[in-house]
């Protein structure tokens, strides 16, 4: 009887594994590349466009860099404790779209 129960439980669809590895790695690499590219230009943008002193620009850069490294931890805690991963991903994407729209309007408009 135990053999039959083990066979039934293992006959379900296989999820994850090495098949999803390239997709997860590619997404993480894309997010990292975008974040690093944005942060690399932040100091130059602050100094040249906003005429911020270099020491203040460095402080703003450090705060932005620390925030980008800390927000995934907050998102993981909220997703695990309260909302679930889909809701947190949807909220994060909405906030990201809003911020890109505001930055675009502020710079171009």
DSSP assignment, residue 14? P
- Model confidence at 5: pLDDT above 70: no
Tens of pLDDT along 32-91?
Answer: 787 788 788 888 888 998 899 999 999 988 888 888 778 878 878 888 788 887 888 888
- Provide, rounded to the nearest whole percent, the portion of the chain with pLDDT above 90: 7
**Kind plus residue range of the DSSP H or E element containing 19:** none
Asked if 97 contacts 75 with a C-beta cutoff of 8 angstroms, the reply is no
| 11 confidence band (pLDDT: 50, 70, 90) | low
Higher-pLDDT residue of 88, 15:
88
Rounded CA gap, 84 and 91, in Å? 11
Residues present in the chain in total: 109
Instruction: Say how far apart CA 19 and CA 65 lie, in whole Å.
Output: 32
User: pLDDT value at position 107?
Assistant: 67
* Residue 98 token pair: 């809003």
The full set of domain ranges for the chain reads: 19-108
């Amino acid at each position: 009887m135990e053999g039959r129960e083990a066979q039934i439980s293992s006959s379900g669809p296989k999820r994850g594994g090495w098949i999803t590895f390239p997709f997860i790695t590619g997404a993480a690499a894309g997010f990292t590349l975008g974040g690093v590219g944005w942060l690399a230009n932040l100091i130059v943008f602050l100094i040249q466009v906003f005429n911020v002193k270099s020491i203040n620009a460095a402080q703003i850069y450090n705060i932005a860099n620390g925030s980008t490294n800390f927000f995934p931890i907050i998102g993981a805690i909220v997703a695990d404790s309260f909302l679930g991963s889909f809701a947190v991903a949807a909220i994060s994407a909405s906030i990201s779209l809003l911020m890109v729209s505001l930055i675009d309007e502020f710079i171009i408009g």
